[in-house]
Amino acid sequence: MLHRRTLLTAGGTTAALAALGLSPQAMAQAGLKLGPATPFSFDSLVTRARALAAKPYAPPPPLPADVLERIDYDAHGKLKYKTDFALFKDGPGPFPVTFFHMGRYFQTPVHMHVLDKAGSGARGREILYDPAYFEMPADSPAKALPQGAGFAGFRFQESRSGDQTKLPWQGNDWVAFLGASYFRAIGGLYQYGLSARGVALDVAVAGKNEEFPAFTQVWFEPPADGSDTVVVHALLEGPSIAGAYRFQMRRDQAVTMEIDCKLFLRQDVARLGLVPLTSMYWYSDKLKPSGIDWRPEVHDSDGLALWTGGGERIWRPLNNPAGTGVSAFGDKSPKGFGLMQRDRNFDHYLDGVNYDKRPSLWVEPLSDFGEGAVELVEIPTDDEIHDNIGAFWVPKAKAVAGANYDLRYRLHWVADEPFPSPLARCVATRIGRGGVPGQPRPQGVRKFMVEFLGGPLANLPFGVKPEAVLSAARGSFSYVFTEAVPNNVAGHWRAQFDYTPEGNGPVDLRLFLKNGDQTLSETWLYQLLL
């Protein structure tokens, strides 16, 4: 049963916010209806999450399922939040907040709260759902939802103090939280793409269904005027877990998020994915089946980049496999990892949805992640509408009921890696039939052409060729050589080789370039599916 809330009318809202000590700008949020004030601190949120994990899971009170089901994709698209009701639309801070409506695909209510101040001693009031906040058709099924039902998510709009002729805040946002624990941000090229999550539970575990915990409660700190940073707190709840999150999000040339999370398990988890990233890879110029689409490439990300605790830089091109695959990259105290979109050439995509501008997402650990592995999950897809790629950190120790995790990390939503390697990086992988042109092609032999660019390759003396260093657990290599790509770009080289497989099953191929004892490139690590 929903608990009772005090509904504040327009005039009452202003008086209540004044009593909380908010600025005159915040008091202008007169159209929002607020609940009673309750104390809040991040420490108390952690205590609450720990207490929840010690008890059996209690799902949130259900809303009318028949109503939510009728708010399908089309009906949901017609529900537009009115920016006149945006939180912080007149301050404090430059970034107003708007909210998403619930529907068939977003049935878990998220209860939003506004705090009177940052830090200790804060009090918060729930922002109570009212259909009046949304533009909706007269016959919309959303009209049947009860007052105070909750929202599906929220987003921060662009700055209201910026150039409104070029980037009006009412029609542009830079971060969005919507669905379970999913959230995403635009990168330096003003484009959304891949997503992050609070946590991933039992992804691609045989015989188990993936669990999707959700952010069910959110608190907004009033930002400082002129600040480029906002702070949001969130409670995560699910059958196997509870957690507390603090997001400190900065909007400048791109978006960075400093995240502090405390997680508590109430049940055993077979695969605990911390700091999870989710993306889409359908196909690229690496290996494209003929006739499946008119575009040369379709993907939000084209590879997984790793910076290991030992300092090695690795590039793993993504696959669209025939069956679900999981790759584990064991490590200790990693320096970072991310799903990247390296190919920025519009001519490689040719459509109007800006795949060439999709952000890369890099994880920078701020606390010691300890021993474990970055795991990459690749799921088959036959369309761009499905997120089929996941990457996350899995601790070495088993995730058992009663275990807890304390993580600090920074997410960089950027066009390129925030901590670029001084080495040459892989910029293309191309695969074809092995053998020599004009002669019968040997059955099953693959030819690889791997391109590297930059770093010390740009300073090689004239006439010096880098050496391709290759390895694999099985199979053999032939026709191995390197050459400068004939495009007059300094430091642009490619390694060519044939690979003859042995046996069945996936095999990892490793390659890097060197000159004598000097390593010239990051490590290219490719999983060939046999």
Please state which of the ranges 199-203, 365-369, 370-374, 431-435 shows the lowest mean pLDDT: 431-435
Q: Which two structure tokens, joined as six digits, stand for 442?
A: 């040997």
> For the chain, what percent of residues have pLDDT higher than 70?
94
- In whole angstroms, what is the distance from residue 465 CA to residue 415 CA? 31
Q: Are 22 and 34 in contact (CB under 8 A)?
A: no
Question: b vs e for 332-347, b when ≥16 Cβ sit within 10 Å of the residue's Cβ?
Answer: eebbbbbbbbbbeeee
Can you tell me whether residue 24 is helix, strand or coil?
helix
Q: CA end-to-end span of the chain, whole Å? A: 55
**Segment 350-363 mean pLDDT:** 96
Whether 186 has a pLDDT exceeding 90, the answer reads yes
288-332 pLDDT tens trace: 777 789 999 999 999 999 999 999 999 999 999 999 999 999 999
Task: Give me the pLDDT at residue 27, please.
Answer: 41
Percent helix, strand, coil in the chain, to 5, is 10, 40, 45
Task: Give me the pLDDT at residue 323, please.
Answer: 93
Q: Which two structure tokens, joined as six digits, stand for 156?
A: 């921060």
Pick the more confident residue, 97 or 167.
97
**Segment 425-444 mean pLDDT:** 90
How many other CB atoms sit within 10 Å of the CB of residue 505? Answer: 9
Whether 161 has a pLDDT exceeding 90, the answer reads no
Closest CA to 526 of 378, 381, 323, 422: 378
Peptide bond preceding 92 in cis form (omega within 30 of 0): yes
pLDDT category, 16, cuts 50, 70, 90? very low
- In whole angstroms, what is the distance from residue 155 CA to residue 384 CA? 24
Q: Are 440 and 291 in contact (CB under 8 A)?
A: no
**Segment 175-194 mean pLDDT:** 96
What's the half-sphere exposure (Cβ side, CA atoms, 13 Å) at 386?
A: 11
How many other CB atoms sit within 10 Å of the CB of residue 285? Answer: 15
Burial of residue 473 (CB within 10 Å: 0-12, 13-18, 19+) is: exposed
Q: Are 418 and 411 in contact (CB under 8 A)?
A: no
**Segment 476-490 mean pLDDT:** 95
Can you tell me whether residue 10 is helix, strand or coil?
helix
Task: Give me the pLDDT at residue 30, please.
Answer: 52
**Segment 498-504 mean pLDDT:** 94
Whether 285 has a pLDDT exceeding 90, the answer reads no
How many other CB atoms sit within 10 Å of the CB of residue 71? Answer: 26
Question: Tell me, what amino acid is at 33?
Answer: K
pLDDT category, 440, cuts 50, 70, 90? confident
Whether 478 has a pLDDT exceeding 90, the answer reads yes
**Segment 88-93 mean pLDDT:** 94
Instruction: Give me the residues paired with residue 185 across strands.
Output: 175
Please state which of the ranges 4-13, 23-32, 82-91, 128-137 shows the lowest mean pLDDT: 4-13
- In whole angstroms, what is the distance from residue 310 CA to residue 285 CA? 32
What's the half-sphere exposure (Cβ side, CA atoms, 13 Å) at 323?
A: 5
Please state which of the ranges 240-244, 435-439, 515-519 shows the lowest mean pLDDT: 435-439
**Segment 223-251 mean pLDDT:** 96
- In whole angstroms, what is the distance from residue 412 CA to residue 410 CA? 6
Residue 402 region by backbone torsions, left for phi larger than 0, else alpha for psi between -120 and 50, else beta? left
**Segment 1-9 mean pLDDT:** 34
**Segment 118-144 mean pLDDT:** 93
Give, in degrees to the nearest 5, the angle at Cα 288 between 184 and 324.
Answer: 60
Whether 41 has a pLDDT exceeding 90, the answer reads yes
Please state which of the ranges 3-17, 48-62, 133-147, 268-282 shows the lowest mean pLDDT: 3-17
Task: Give me the pLDDT at residue 8, please.
Answer: 36
- In whole angstroms, what is the distance from residue 239 CA to residue 59 CA? 8
Domains of the chain: 1-271 (2.70.98.10), 272-398 (no CATH), 425-528 (2.60.40.10)
Q: Are 156 and 175 in contact (CB under 8 A)?
A: yes
Whether 9 has a pLDDT exceeding 50, the answer reads no
Task: Give me the pLDDT at residue 25, please.
Answer: 40
